[in-house]
Chains A and B, each alone.
Chain A
């Protein structure tokens, strides 16, 4: 390595470290803040705590409300994923496998959801959910969320299904396997990668969603974790350490999940974006 290259490389790494500290400092302060007294946070937000006080983390972990928020979110997100995968892949299968009059039109219709943000129809959605009598139930979050995920899911599924070898279907067809059975027996099992990608995408969207639960859930029993977190923040306005501990405990699972499913997350979040 020449001297010029060496200097360039040092500058490069220095710049990268600078950006990395801009990214990490707030998160680090959050994690550490959960161990500190408020007086200590006040004087040194970024340093290591003088003593690692476990009280604040402990009180949240032993609070049943915290686990209920997470449980509600997990239930809602899982249901949205399962519903989106089943309903979306079934529709996409029809578009990929069966040509019929109007199929292109119906396909374009289902893709309209990609064109506009969720928030545009939030008020009528609130009225509708209320009139059906779903207000303050999990279904009020699950069903609209699934409906809004369908567009992207159907687009990605159809593209994938069309790339599956046609000979497979022809062979099964001659052996007397019908369309519905082929879907369950062959298409779905062969589509694990795209199911995982879409599944992860829908899960993350649902898990992090704030606006919809905020509008349709009222009682704390039904709250998802973002609502619970805002509620908690409201209750302990002056006690940052408790809020920071709460935030940390909710972002840790997200980070662990991300590290575990990194491949699908990057594919689902950016790959889906590029294709869309």
Chain B
């Protein structure tokens, strides 16, 4: 007989007395509140305040009094640098989906089997992911430095004039995206490898016996099997693109002439460093809406996948 069944036979007063004496109520009252308080105070409350502040023109001192309605949002919508920032975020999404993820998938297919050489490659490819983004940004700002870095050495080797890609309006963001691919493809690859290792070996064997070629096995056995992993990694690529900040600061700091901002560096530069709390909060609200939209969209796809 289980405890639950035993408890159900007792009268209410007895049940209450028991749950007090065995610490059931105490447990809930002691163990739960710390998490609720911390989470409410430092996550949910600031989120709500973000929405509130976004209707004010406020420099952060005293209390917000200058109510401006939707003016902050209008200013953001009309700000060309914000358009650039959103465009850059979309570029990161595109590069992640169409360059980084296929590369990660190809590598995962090449090294998912458990052999010592594959283990070494796996380790190398995952290495950039564990570095701090600021460190990655600094390392690459050296690589791209036209005076000192690897680009300088390569240019010198070919006797060509050195170039400063991070100072180039057209190409600086391409450099930023190179760093992002370098930093994150190993993460996506690891997700695929974990999924590929769970493909039943006999399915692959059966396909092979029936005369399927390697590419056919990949296409009709392995990729269908790891589809959930691909959906998940796409979600992380998109959510990740919305959050890019650390890498940009050491690389370009949003420059040259504000061409390489992302939504978060935009928020930081035009909201925080100038103490436009209302304006920055409005950017935060927009970012929140974007993230929630992605999450809900993803959830729908994911649910549909589960029902099928």
Encode A9-44 as 1/0 by CB contact (under 8 A) with B: 000110110011011111101100100001001111
| B103: chain A residues within 8 A (beta carbon) | 19
| A148: chain B residues within 8 A (beta carbon) | 42-43
Distance in angstroms between the alpha carbons of A131 and B163 in the assembled complex: 47
Distance in angstroms between the alpha carbons of A211 and B264 in the assembled complex: 10
| B176: chain A residues within 8 A (beta carbon) | none
Contact (Cβ within 8 A) B182 A269: no
Contact (Cβ within 8 A) A113 B39: yes
Between A93, A210, A269, the greatest number of chain B beta carbons within 10 A of the residue's beta carbon is seen for A210
Encode A235-267 as 1/0 by CB contact (under 8 A) with B: 000001001100100110011001100100110
Q: Is B135 an interface residue (CB 8 A)?
A: yes
Contact (Cβ within 8 A) B27 A98: yes
Contact (Cβ within 8 A) B34 A25: no
Between B135, B236, B280, the greatest number of chain A beta carbons within 10 A of the residue's beta carbon is seen for B135
Contact (Cβ within 8 A) A124 B42: no
| A244: chain B residues within 8 A (beta carbon) | 142
* Stretch touching chain A among B90-98, B125-133, B217-225: B125-133
Using CB atoms, name the residue of chain B closest to A270. Answer: B190
Contact (Cβ within 8 A) B124 A23: yes
A38 to chain B, nearest CB (A): 7
Contact (Cβ within 8 A) A147 B249: no
Q: Which of B49, B111, B121, B295 contacts A127 (CB 8 A)?
A: B49
Q: Is B152 an interface residue (CB 8 A)?
A: yes
| B138: chain A residues within 8 A (beta carbon) | 229-230, 233, 243, 247
Q: Which of B28, B44, B264 contacts A119 (CB 8 A)?
A: B264
Q: Is B307 an interface residue (CB 8 A)?
A: no
Q: Which of B121, B156, B236 contacts A16 (CB 8 A)?
A: B121
Q: Is B12 an interface residue (CB 8 A)?
A: no
Q: Is A75 an interface residue (CB 8 A)?
A: no
Distance in angstroms between the alpha carbons of A22 and B2 in the assembled complex: 60
Count of A-B residue pairs with CB < 8 Å:
285
Q: Is A207 an interface residue (CB 8 A)?
A: yes
| B139: chain A residues within 8 A (beta carbon) | 26-27, 29-30, 247
Q: Which of B107, B130, B246, B285 contacts A255 (CB 8 A)?
A: B130
Using CB atoms, name the residue of chain A closest to B282. Answer: A123
Contact (Cβ within 8 A) A146 B38: yes
Q: Which of B28, B44, B152, B186 contacts A94 (CB 8 A)?
A: B28
* Stretch touching chain B among A50-58, A59-67, A172-180, A191-199: A172-180
| A110: chain B residues within 8 A (beta carbon) | 35-36, 39
Q: Is B47 an interface residue (CB 8 A)?
A: yes
Contact (Cβ within 8 A) A180 B53: no
Contact (Cβ within 8 A) A123 B53: yes
Q: Provide the main secondary structure of the chain A interface.
A: helix
Q: Which of B125, B149, B287 contacts A23 (CB 8 A)?
A: B125
Given contacts A25-B150, A123-B280, contact A94 B49 (CB under 8 A): no
A256 to chain B, nearest CB (A): 11
B258 to chain A, nearest CB (A): 18
| A120: chain B residues within 8 A (beta carbon) | 47, 50, 284-285, 287-288, 291
Contact (Cβ within 8 A) A179 B267: no
Given contacts A208-B133, A251-B135, A274-B232, contact A147 B272 (CB under 8 A): no
Given contacts A148-B42, A154-B35, A170-B3, contact A44 B142 (CB under 8 A): no
Encode B133-157 as 1/0 by CB contact (under 8 A) with A: 1110011101101011110110010
A-B contact pairs, 19 of them (CB 8 A): A26-B182, A33-B142, A42-B152, A43-B156, A45-B152, A112-B44, A119-B245, A121-B47, A121-B284, A122-B284, A123-B53, A123-B267, A123-B271, A125-B42, A207-B132, A226-B132, A229-B134, A233-B138, A274-B229
Q: Measuring CB to CB, which residues of chain B are less than 8 angstroms from any residue of chain A?
A: 2-3, 22-24, 26-28, 30-32, 34-36, 38-39, 41-47, 49-50, 53, 60, 103, 107, 110-111, 117, 121, 123-135, 138-140, 142-143, 145, 147-150, 152-153, 156, 182, 186-187, 190-191, 194-195, 229, 232, 236, 239, 242-243, 245-246, 249-250, 264, 267-268, 271-272, 277, 280-281, 284-285, 287-288, 291-292, 295
Q: Knowing that A16-B111, A90-B35, A240-B142 are A-B contacts, what are 19 other residue pairs whose CB atoms are under 8 Å apart, sorted by A's residue number?
A: A12-B110, A16-B110, A24-B127, A26-B142, A26-B150, A45-B149, A45-B153, A87-B38, A90-B30, A91-B32, A94-B31, A100-B28, A114-B295, A121-B46, A126-B272, A127-B49, A150-B38, A210-B245, A270-B194
Q: Measuring CB to CB, which residues of chain A are less than 8 angstroms from any residue of chain B?
A: 12-13, 15-16, 19-20, 22-27, 29-30, 33, 38, 41-46, 86-88, 90-91, 93-94, 97-98, 100, 106, 109-110, 112-128, 143-144, 146-148, 150-151, 154, 170, 173, 178-181, 183, 204, 207-208, 210-211, 215, 226, 229-230, 233, 240, 243-244, 247, 250-251, 254-255, 258-259, 262, 265-266, 269-271, 273-274
